[in-house]
Amino acid sequence: MLTRRSRAREVALQLLFQHDVNPNVPRAAIVRFAHNRLGKPEAEVFCLSLYDGTTSRLAEIDARLTAASENWKLQRMAASDRNVLRLGAYEIAFAAEPTPGPVALDEAI
């Protein structure tokens, strides 16, 4: 069984995937999606903080991922893989309360 934070990460990942293929989704739809999937205010806040934090630092995160990847261009990666890496990178490097690397990437997968 997933913890609330794990479930919130899962929904944040779904939102990041959606943002990757359609960055023009209205904010109300994003909030509604999180609410419908999570239904717990604290989980929704955590989910949206991950989504907002990742999307606000997307250029910086993508630059770091591009520099770290060998023989792979970021845009050639599968969208799900790319967004797992983005979410993990945000949690490790930029979140207000950084998550240890093994936790961030294990939870996101």
Domains delineated in the chain: 4-108 (1.10.940.10)
User: Residue 1 pLDDT more than 70?
Assistant: no
CB atoms inside a 10 Å sphere around CB 73: 8
Query: Is pLDDT above 90 for 7?
Result: yes
Residue type, 34: A
Residue 97 banded pLDDT, cuts 50, 70, 90: confident
Residue 101 vs residues 22, 85, 98, 105: alpha-carbon distances, Å: 28, 11, 9, 6
Contact yes or no for 104/88 (Cβ under 8 A): yes
Q: Report which of residues 102 and 70 the model is more confident about.
A: 70
Write down the pLDDT at residue 58. 97
- pLDDT-derived band at 15 (thresholds 50, 70, 90) equals very high
Instruction: Reply yes or no on whether the pLDDT at 107 is more than 60.
Output: no
pLDDT at 105: 63
* Nearest residue to 29 (alpha-carbon basis) of 48, 6, 5, 43: 48
Please report, in angstroms and rounded to a whole number, the separation of the first and last CA atoms in the chain: 14
pLDDT more than 70, % of the chain: 89
Q: How far is CA 44 from CA 5, 35, 61, 64, 92, in A?
A: 9, 6, 23, 27, 20
